[in-house]
Amino acid sequence: MFTYYLDLARRSFKRNVALTVLMVLAIAFGVGASMTTLTVLHVLAADPIPGKSQHLYYVQLDPEKANGYLPGKEPADQSTRADAEALVRAGRADRQAMMTGGRAAVEPERAGLAPFFISGRWTSADFFAMFNAPFLAGRGWTAADDAGNARVTVVSQLLAEKLFGTTDVVGRSVRVEGTPLRIVGVLARWRLTPWFYDLSSDRYGKGEELFVPFSTSRELKLTRNGNMNCWDASPDPEALGATCEWIQLWVELGSTAKADAYREFLVRYSEQEKAAGRYQRPPNVRLRSVPEWLAYKEVVPNDARLQTWIALGFLLVCLINTVGLLLTKFLRRSMEIGVRRALGASKRSIFVQLLVEAGMIGLAGGCLGLGLAWLGLWTVRHQPTSYADLATLDLPMLAATFALAVVTSLLAGLLPAWRGCQVTPALQLKSH
């Protein structure tokens, strides 16, 4: 029976090729546009560190002067160096890391290669384990290295290859701003989307290439990158006692109970600092998990969301267009349907027959839409945005596209098929 319906549908398409093509194209463009934008949104809004995002927390304190304090106001986005060092030293979380983005000149030993700048991260020992940084060779430095301002570094695979032509470089040294640092580890290719641990960095970029202990970076006076907020003039805003916020502080806590305990610890810490006269405001702390932090900072670009809504609106118009055309087409065949009904076809079989015809149009549109989505993403990849190269159809999105195509086709066919099968056979036969 099904093949008979397919054959009927094929005949119906042949009778009006232009219209069939129009309906297929409308669905294809709607599905294509929607899937392109949904894929981009999916890439941008995905969990950057699955399995761990609920255990990593961003710490915010409120060390600023009393002037300007309003109850309920959000504390500053970043921490002072004094607070960050104190909390890392306290070690109350399972793991903790303080960090800042930075930039440094690297002088290659290879002949014929000029010095160049790379972006890096000045951080503390737990960083690599907390953010699942994958090591190709060697490992991160230790807390002892942090304490001793050790001249050590972890480099990216890319930097190792650029400097030495190989990744087998553990134990060798690299000259950073004139000081040789011993390489203790090489990171394999690594990409967090976005680089959530520091949102002032290039969020969707290729990543940093040089990792140096924070303490060492201060002794070498390596350049820092990112935002800084100061509330009193300081001779050196990067000094330990400076009233400037410029450090990101992350902690890892294995359970929500631990998170609650750590939040209390932060309140107690703020109270102590206030009692000691260093803080002027009442305790005002935040401890946000990765998803909460990303939501708070509104990380997903509004434009990407807006584009998705526009594409879905477009799909809706295409869908209504197809429904309207199919409906008219089916109703025009009332006579044919009437004859089939009179010859014994049930309402049900007419419904199925028409649904098969609508479904074929939807399916063809969906498949073509998949191709268009692929083309759309190819275009996105050739845009000069930093997240461009991430825009690829992964397996779940491929499945979603297929589901969207099927749902679209069924939606497009349902109403026309139902209306079509309501034809009363006697009336149709009588009038002709």
Partner 1 sequence: MHFMPILSSLRRHRTAAALIAIEIALTCAIVCNAIFLVGDRLARMDQPSGIVEDELVRVRLAGIGKDRTDASALTNQDLNALRAIPGVKSTASADQVPFANSSWNSDVSTIPDDPAPPVNGAMYVGSADLLETLGVTLTAGRDFTPDEYIEFDAMQTSTAHMPSVIITRGIAERLFPGKSPLGQPVYIWGKEPQIVVGVIDRLARPNNVKPGAQDYAFVLPVFVPYTIGGTYLLRVAPDRRAEVIAAIDATLNKVDPSRIISDRTTFTEIRKEFFRQDRSMAGLLVGVCAALLVVTALGVIGLASFWVQQRTRQIGTRRALGATRRDIVRYFQTENFILATIGIIIGMALAYAINLWLMDKYQVGRLPAVFLPFGALLLWGLGQIAVLGPALRAASIPPAIATRSV
Q: Which residues bind partner 1 (CB under 8 A)?
A: 19, 22, 26, 29, 33, 67-68, 103, 105, 107, 114-117, 177-178, 221-223, 233-237, 302-303, 305-307, 310-311, 313-314, 316-318, 320-321, 323-325, 327-329, 331-332, 383-385, 415, 419
Which helix (H) or strand (E) covers residue 400, if one does?
A: helix 395-420
- C-alpha 217/C-alpha 13 separation (Å) is 71
Cβ atoms of 108 and 200 within 8 Å: the answer is no
Q: Which residues contact 206 (CB under 8 A, 6 or more apart)?
A: 158, 191
Closer by beta carbon to partner 1, 231 or else 402: 231
Q: Give me the least distance between CB of 158 and partner 1, in Å please.
A: 18
Residue 407 C-beta: closest distance to partner 1, Å: 18
User: In the numeric block, which tokens belong to residue 59?
Assistant: 């710490």
Given the complex with partner 1, which of 90 and 240 has the nearer CB atom? 240
Cα–Cα separations (whole angstroms), residue 111 to 8, 107, 108, 115, 177: 75, 10, 8, 11, 18
CA–CA separation, 308 vs 300, rounded Å? 12
What CA–CA distance (Å, rounded) separates 390 from 381?
7
Residue among 33 and 154 whose Cβ is closer to partner 1: 33
Which residue in 239, 247, 248 sits closest to 218, CA to CA? 239
- Nearest approach, Cβ of 178 to partner 1 (angstroms)? 5
Q: Which is nearer to partner 1, 149 or 307 (by Cβ)?
A: 307
Measure the CA–CA gap between 235 and 320, rounded to whole angstroms. Answer: 66
Residue whose tokens read 């499945």: 399
| Spatial contact of 220 and 176, defined as CB atoms under 8 Å apart | yes
CB of 185 to partner 1, least distance (A): 24
Joined together, the tokens standing for residue 182 give: 């011993």
Q: Least CB distance from residue 166 to partner 1, whole Å?
A: 25
Amino acid at the residue 63: P
Shortest Å, Cβ 302 to partner 1? 5
Q: Which is nearer to partner 1, 207 or 324 (CB)?
A: 324
Tokens representing residue 6 in the block: 């397919």
CB closer to partner 1, 236 vs 271:
236
Provide the minimum distance between the beta carbon of 224 and partner 1 in the complex, in angstroms, as a whole number: 11
**33 or 355: CB nearest partner 1:** 33
